[in-house]
Structure 1
Amino acid sequence: MFRRQIITAALALALVPMGAALPAQEAVMSAEEVENLLTGNTAAGVWDGVPYKSYFGPNGTTIYDPADGDALVGKWRVNPETGQFESFWAAVGWTAYSVLRTDRGLAWEVDGQTYPFELVEGRELAE
C-alpha cells in the first residue's frame, strides 16, 4: 500500500510541467552591472504606451527619444550605494530606477511598476 502511494505521488509530480509552479524570477542588478550594461548603449521599450529609445553616453549624457515627440537631452548616472540607475531631466530632477534581469529580459522598476526594455549595442537613435 505504501509503495503504491509513493508511485502515485511520483507519477503526479512527473505530470506537472517543469517550472509551472515557480514564480517569475527577478534579480536587481548591481551598480557595476548597470554601468556596464548601459554605458554607450541604447535601451528600447514602451513607456506609458509610447515606444521609445534612450541612449546612455559614456560622458553621463542621455538622450530620450519617444516615438511621438521630440528627443530630450538629460543626464544619467549609477548610484554606487544603492545600485540604482538615476536620470536627470530639467522638468523633474533626479529620478532613481532599479534595473532588473527577469525571466523575459531586462526591465526598469520605479514606484512598483516594471517597464521591460531591450538593450541595443551602441547609439541607435533616429537622426
Structure 2
Amino acid sequence: MIRFALTLAVLAGAADAQSVKLSADEIATLLTGNTAVGTWEGNAYRQYFDADGSTIYAQEGARSARGSWRVEGEEYQSIWASDTEWEGWLVMEYAGQWFWVSKITPPTPFDVVEGQELVVQ
C-alpha cells in the first residue's frame, strides 16, 4: 500500500513538473561563486563562475580555459580568448535539475556545487 501511494505521489509530481526559465537575477544567484558540473559534448567538465566576471572551464585531461561570463537579458553568456563574440544560453530548471538551453544545442543538464570546486575531492 505504501509503495502504491509513493508511486502515485511521484507520478502526480511528474505530471505537475514544468520547465522554468530562470530570470537574470536567478541565474546570477545560481552561478556566482559556484561551480557547474556536467557533461558537454561527451566530456565531463567543471566550470567556476567568479563574482568578478571571470570563469574557469576545466575538463579532465585537458588544459583549463579562462574566460569571462555575464548575465545579459535572461541569458548566461560567456566569451573565451579564441571567441570574438559572446555566446549565450538560457538556464532552465525542470524537476529539480538545471539545464543549459540554446537554439543550436539540446538541453544539457548540469549540477551546481557551492564554491570553487574545479578538482574532484
Scaled by the length of structure 2, what TM-score is found? 0.81
Structure 1 portions without partners, runs of 5+? 1-16
- Name which of 87, 98, 107 aligns with 1:95: 87
- Supply the distance in 2 between the matched residues of 1:121 and 1:39 (Cα, whole angstroms): 9
Amino acid at match of 1:84: E
- The size of the alignment, in residue pairs, is 110
Match of 1:60 in 2: 53
- Supply the distance in 1 between the matched residues of 2:71 and 2:80 (Cα, whole angstroms): 15
Match of 1:108 in 2: 100
Task: Say whether residues 1:36 and 2:29 are aligned partners.
Answer: yes
Please give the secondary structure, in 2, of the residue aligned with 1:96: strand
Match of 2:4 in 1: none
Q: Is the 8 A contact 1:50 1:68 kept in 2?
A: no
- Supply the distance in 1 between the matched residues of 2:42 and 2:59 (Cα, whole angstroms): 10
Deviation at 1:20, TM superposition (A): 8.8
Deviation at 1:90, TM superposition (A): 2.1
Match of 1:118 in 2: 111
- Supply the distance in 2 between the matched residues of 1:24 and 1:112 (Cα, whole angstroms): 22
Q: Is the 8 A contact 1:40 1:56 kept in 2?
A: yes
Deviation at 1:21, TM superposition (A): 8.3
Please give the secondary structure, in 2, of the residue aligned with 1:22: helix
- Supply the distance in 2 between the matched residues of 1:113 and 1:53 (Cα, whole angstroms): 19
- Supply the distance in 1 between the matched residues of 2:37 and 2:13 (Cα, whole angstroms): 29
Please give the secondary structure, in 2, of the residue aligned with 1:91: coil
Scaled by the length of structure 1, what TM-score is found? 0.78
Deviation at 1:49, TM superposition (A): 0.4
Match of 2:75 in 1: 84
- Supply the distance in 1 between the matched residues of 2:59 and 2:14 (Cα, whole angstroms): 38
